[in-house]
Amino acid sequence: MKGPGGVFTERRRPEGVERGPWDGSSVPSGRRSLLRGAAASFGAGLIPGVLRPAFGASPLKPVAEEDALVAFGHTGPITDGGWTTAHDLGVQAVRKAFPKLKTVFVESIPYSADATRIFRQFVAEGAQLVISTSNYGDFIKDVADRAPDVGFLECDGHTVTGNLGWYYITHWYASYIIGIAAGLMTKTNQLGYVGTFPIPSVYASANATLLGAQSVNPACTMRAIAINAWFDPQAATQAASALVDSGCDFLCGITDEPAYLRVAEARGIKAAMWNLGMRQFGPKAYVSSVTLDFSRFYVEQVRARLNGSWRAAPHFLTLSDGVDRDAWGETVPPNIAARADAMRERILSGYNPFRGPIRDNTGAIRVPEGTVMNDDAIYQWDWGVQGMTGLG
Amino acid sequence: MTRFQRFPTAPARLVLAWRAAALVAAALIVGVLLALSGRDVFVLGELVLRSTVGSRFGLEDLALFMTPLVLTGAAVTVTSRIGLWNIGGEGQFYLGAIGAAGVGLYLPGPQIIVLPLMALAAIACGMAWIVVPTLARAYAGVSEIITTLLLNFVAGLLTYWLATGPWRDRVTGALASSGRISDAIPELWGVVHWGFPLSLAIAAGLAAIMTWTGWGYEVRVSGANPGAARYAGMPMRGRVIAVMLLSGALAALAGMFEVAGTVHRLQGGMADNFGYLGIVVAVLARRSCLAVIPAALLMALILDAGIVLQTQQLAATAVLAITGLVLLLIAIGDELAHYRPVAPASSTRSGAAA
């Protein structure tokens, strides 16, 4: 299924077919159709417990725009200048597209049973579509299971049920492109990564950046620190300082806010960000950012919910359609930017840079020669590539 | 002329009256502020009431909130009876969760056996977590406030380490979580599980022990007047050790109920400040184990109302400020309850002088 603009890679399985949600059978992209074999070897069997035959159930009933309530649950404050701000821009797009519809949001939802309470409260207040802009796992699934008429979407989720779907951005391609610039710009060959939790999206981001860097500078290694929080500017600052102290001269990461860019600016090194363009916090240090745009996806999902065509499904927002690299920073040499952008063009034309041999950080080959990791395999990534230390 | 004098004790009815006044005052202040910011106070108030006490959904949530609060509140209350403060409920909660999760994750067996074992493991872990502060207090006089508090941070980090490291979920890759534990406390009413009546029964049982047993009497005397207790030959040190271990066990049991009843995983951050909120509950309960139950209910109401207000686009910080205001006014009310009018003793003398 594609949106009106043909923008979203929405993958749906025919009813009753016993396959994983990562099966890209209806995806037109050459990249994915080439890699279906890899999906089987990397994805299938990893998460058997989360598959439910209810997937592909009939769509939820339509809702009149003036009766509709769409609820968003955020992991941080909408003023974080990064992740939650990016989602809030999507919320604003929904408000603009559907002026009669009501939207509510709750910020800074803790990752605890409080999340369940908040999602339950959304349901109790009559929300027809609940969108959690971060991974809340069982806390959202428990609520969704008890509210079958309400649609649920979980960003960075991994579970699809009759009324709970997930969506995520394939940020690893943008990270790989920025990694090329990092590999060419580092002098110490040590990249620093301000991580949050050792979960697949973080492995994917860190690994992709390092693989991009190693593709042009095989001597590159990466030190990562997990700060056990998405939004903790103080911990991110401390982690960034420690990474610089240990010899890293290029910082990247996956925190919700721009704290480590300020560290890079103060210490005279380079940094690549994510979420939004944010060069204003460190114009000299700023290299680029993995920029996210959820507006079209949110508008599309709300429209589907209103007109009665919404189904729970997994969605990847792809490079140039929801995720991309930001315009290069002022101190990035044009030849380096051009080299990284050449890879962006290749990826956009269907090339997948995540191809074997890829070794893990013990040196063992995990992706053999001649095999590629597709989005579904990358979305389950739970090991660090060779040269990575400190994550998990 | 009548004057007001501060008495060392406050009668329960005065405390209740002042607290009711404090709640009304808090509601008025918050209502006026919300009205000034352009919100419909009555719609908000109706929604808060309906979402907390006015619907089955709200009542279920209240009971789920109360379950850990009763236990962590009781944990602080029992130590306060002997004149100590266990600020480490948060850490003991985490250790209880760790103990319960360890058994639940790695010990196969029928639920009827595994669940009690989870509880026992939780209690053992919670006691182990408070044993060093306990011995330091009992034998060296080290302030238990500092030692129990500092261990909270260690426990929180230990939980994160387990949940993101050796015990991390390899099935769904859930964030900072262990795998899902299949053994769950059976549900009783909607999402409310048997931990709720059990926690109420534990609080009531503690109240009975404190009131009616010789042990409880010795604990109370030791707290009220350590000198007298020692003079009467009561084993102070033994009582301190027993009470602090009991306190650790109670907070740990709250962690076990949260793991086995609500969250079903070990998770970093899962304690949700229940250990610290237990201190607030104990202060509200004024050292009575039985009063922990209504105090936990009030705390649960405040927290639940906060969640409803957040879905009405009040910022989390504003909700925190409202919670603080309610508790501040209650504290003022509690203090005012110590004041009673006294007959003007000087009036006869001044009359005689005139």
Per the CB < 8 Å rule, is A121 touching B308? yes
| pLDDT of the residue at A112 | 87
Nearest CA in chain A to B176: A197
| pLDDT of the residue at B315 | 83
| pLDDT of the residue at B354 | 41
d(CA B176, CA A106): 21
What number is the average pLDDT over the span A85-106?
96
**What are the structure tokens assigned to B244, written together?**
């602090």
pLDDT band at A59 (very low <50, low <70, confident <90, very high): confident
Per the CB < 8 Å rule, is A124 touching B304? no
The model's pLDDT over A16-36, given as tens digits with 9 standing for 90+, comes to 333 333 333 333 333 333 333
A142 vs B contacts (CB less than 8 Å): 191
Helix axes B292-311, B41-52, angle to 10 degrees: 130
What number is the average pLDDT over the span B222-242?
92
What number is the average pLDDT over the span B196-204?
98
What number is the average pLDDT over the span B302-313?
89
Q: Which CATH number fits domain A171-291+323-389: 3.40.50.2300, 3.30.1330.60, 1.10.286.10, 3.30.70.100?
A: 3.40.50.2300
Q: How far is CA A351 from CA A263, A377, B292, in A?
A: 35, 16, 64
What number is the average pLDDT over the span B12-30?
93
Per the CB < 8 Å rule, is B176 touching A122? no
pLDDT band at A57 (very low <50, low <70, confident <90, very high): low
What number is the average pLDDT over the span A45-68?
66
A116 vs B contacts (CB less than 8 Å): 262
pLDDT band at B348 (very low <50, low <70, confident <90, very high): low
What number is the average pLDDT over the span A251-280?
96
| pLDDT of the residue at A298 | 98
What number is the average pLDDT over the span B195-214?
97
Name which of A124-133, A216-225, B2-11, B139-148 the model is least confident about.
B2-11
Q: How far away is chain B from the Cα of A230, in angstroms, using its nearest Cα?
A: 11
For residues A378 and A209, the answer to whether their CB atoms sit within 8 Å is no
| B3-6 and B339-342 strand pairing | antiparallel
The model's pLDDT over B154-169, given as tens digits with 9 standing for 90+, comes to 999 999 999 988 998 8
Torsions phi, psi for B231 (to 5 deg): -65, -35
| pLDDT of the residue at A29 | 38
The model's pLDDT over A246-261, given as tens digits with 9 standing for 90+, comes to 999 999 999 999 999 9
Contact status of B183 with chain A (Cβ, < 8 Å): no
| Interface test with chain B among A42, A72, A121, by most B beta carbons within 10 Å | A121
Q: What is the mean pLDDT of chain B?
A: 92
B176 vs A contacts (CB less than 8 Å): 111, 197, 199, 228
| pLDDT of the residue at B262 | 92
Q: In what order do the strands lie in the sheet with A151-155?
A: A9-10, A314-317, A164-169, A151-155, A129-132, A69-73, A102-106
Instruction: Please state, for a pLDDT cut of 70, what percent of chain A lies above it.
Output: 85
What number is the average pLDDT over the span B296-318?
90
Q: How far is CA A189 from CA A180, A219, A332, in A?
A: 12, 6, 17
A206 CB burial (10 A radius; 0-12, 13-18, 19+)? buried
A12, pLDDT greater than 80: no
What number is the average pLDDT over the span B234-259?
96
Per the CB < 8 Å rule, is A159 touching B172? yes
What is the ipTM score, two decimals?
A: 0.85
What number is the average pLDDT over the span A140-146?
93
| pLDDT of the residue at A366 | 95
B160 vs A contacts (CB less than 8 Å): 228
The pTM of the full predicted model, rounded to 2 decimals, is: 0.84
What number is the average pLDDT over the span A140-159?
94
Contact status of B215 with chain A (Cβ, < 8 Å): no
Torsions phi, psi for A233 (to 5 deg): -55, -35
Q: Which CATH architecture has domain A48-170+294-317?
A: 3-Layer(aba) Sandwich (3.40)
What number is the average pLDDT over the span A100-113?
92
Segments making up each domain of chain B, as ranges: 1-39+312-354, 66-310
Nearest CA in chain B to A115: B307
A200 vs B contacts (CB less than 8 Å): 173
CATH code 3.40.50.2300 region(s) in chain A: 48-170+294-317, 171-291+323-389
Q: How far is CA A371 from CA A34, A351, A356, in A?
A: 10, 13, 5
Cis before A357? omega within 30: yes
Q: What is the mean pLDDT of chain A?
A: 87
Instruction: Count Cβ atoms below 10 Å from residue B176 Cβ, excluding itself.
Output: 27
Check whether domain B66-310 has CATH 1.10.101, yes or no = no
pLDDT band at B170 (very low <50, low <70, confident <90, very high): confident
A381 vs B contacts (CB less than 8 Å): none
Across the interface, of A118, A146, A380, the residue whose CB is closest to B310 is A118
Name which of A83-97, A202-216, B123-137, B319-333 the model is least confident about.
B319-333
Contact status of A106 with chain B (Cβ, < 8 Å): yes
| pLDDT of the residue at B156 | 94
| pLDDT of the residue at B9 | 86
Nearest CA in chain B to A390: B165
Is the torsion defined by CA of A381, A382, A384, A386 positive or negative? negative
| pLDDT of the residue at B4 | 87
